[in-house]
Amino acid sequence: MKRKLVFAIFAVLLVLSCLSISTVSAHRLHIVHKISEIEIESYFGGGSPCRDANVTVYDNEGNLYLEGVTDDEGKFSFPPKIGMKEYTVVVDAVHMPGHKAETVINLSQEAASAGAGGVGTEMPLYTRGIAGFGYLIGLAGAALAYMGWKQKKKYETKK
C-alpha cells in the first residue's frame, strides 16, 4: 500500500511539473536562410523546358538590369540588387517565334508567402503539450504494467 501511495504522489508531481514547463526546444529544427540568387524556370505548355531563350530582367523602375540565356533545363538565375524589391522578367524563345512571356517577381510578397505556412512552421504549443502528455501517459502505463507483472510473479511464487 505504501508503494502505491509513493507512486501516486510521484505521478501527480510529475504531471504538475510537466504542466508548468514552458516551451522546450531540445529537438526543434532551426532554419537559417540567405537570399543569394533569384532563379526562374521557363517551360512550354507540355512541360518541356524552354532552352536557349533570351531573358531580359528589368528593375521596378523599368530600367534594364541584365540580360542572359536560359540553360538546357530552361532555368536562369540572377543576383538581386540590394534594395530592389520587384523585377520584371521577360523570356523570349527566339527559336520558336511568337513564344514570349513576362512575369513580375515581387520579393516582399515571396518572403511573406514563404513564411506564412511553409516547411519551417512549428506545431502550436497546445499540440506539443498534448503530445508530451501522451508520452508521459505511455511511460506511466509501461511502468504500471511492469509493476503489475512483478506483483503477479510475487503472488504466484507464494502459492
For the chain, domain boundaries: 38-109, 122-159
Give 67-106 pLDDT, tens digit per residue. 999 999 989 988 888 888 889 999 988 777 778 888 888 8
Picking from 103, 127, 137, 150, the residue whose alpha carbon sits closest to that of residue 14 is: 137
Query: Is the full-model pTM beyond 0.85?
Result: no
Give 38-59 pLDDT, tens digit per residue. 888 888 877 788 889 899 999 8
The angle that helices 2-20 and 125-158 make with each other, rounded to 10 degrees, is 170
Exposed/middle/buried for residue 70 (C-beta within 10 Å: 0-12, 13-18, 19+): buried
CATH class (in words) of the domain with range 38-109? mainly beta
